[in-house]
């Protein structure tokens, strides 16, 4: 079983609409969580960290549910430029280093 599981999608979203998707993690020892964005055939880049209280960065909102062991990402007012694969990432420790577990990604396609 993969440690971080994501719906691969694609999620087809009309421009301006809202899209949300989750990822689940299996290791309850996971402490830190992140969303990375990966454009087609490009390198992943950090989109945002996910905090226990939930956090927002512009049109992006991330939530963490430790009881059910899932993380969510919501994108409001989708732009064509939001089309990408979103990678969910879990880290097992809050120490200065802990191995990252990457999900396989959820593809989002924003259409005009």
Q: Which helix (H) or strand (E) holds 90?
A: strand 84-91
d(CA 49, CA 34): 4
Taking the least distance from each CB to other proteins, the nearer of 71 and 78 is 71
In the window 68-97, what residues touch other proteins (CB under 8 A)? 87, 91, 96-97
Distance of CA 97 to the CA centre of its chain: 20
> According to CB under 8 A, which one of 16, 26, 42, 54 is a site residue for other proteins?
42
Between β-strands 11-14 and 106-111, what pairing exists: parallel, antiparallel or unpaired?
A: parallel
Does the protein bind other proteins through residue 66 (CB under 8 A)?
A: no
Interface residues with other proteins (CB under 8 A)? 2, 4, 8, 32, 34, 36, 41-46, 49, 87, 91, 96-105
């Amino acid at each position: 079983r993969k440690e971080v599981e994501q719906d691969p999608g694609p999620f087809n979203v009309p421009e301006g609409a809202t899209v949300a998707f989750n990822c689940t993690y299996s290791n309850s020892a996971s402490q830190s969580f992140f969303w990375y964005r990966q454009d087609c055939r490009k390198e992943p880049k950090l989109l945002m960290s996910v905090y226990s209280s939930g956090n927002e960065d512009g049109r992006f909102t991330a939530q963490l549910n430790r009881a059910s062991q899932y993380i969510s990402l919501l994108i409001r007012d989708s732009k064509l430029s939001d089309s990408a694969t979103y990678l969910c990432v879990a880290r097992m420790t809050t120490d200065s280093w802990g191995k990252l577990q990457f999900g396989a990604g959820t593809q989002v396609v924003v259409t005009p």
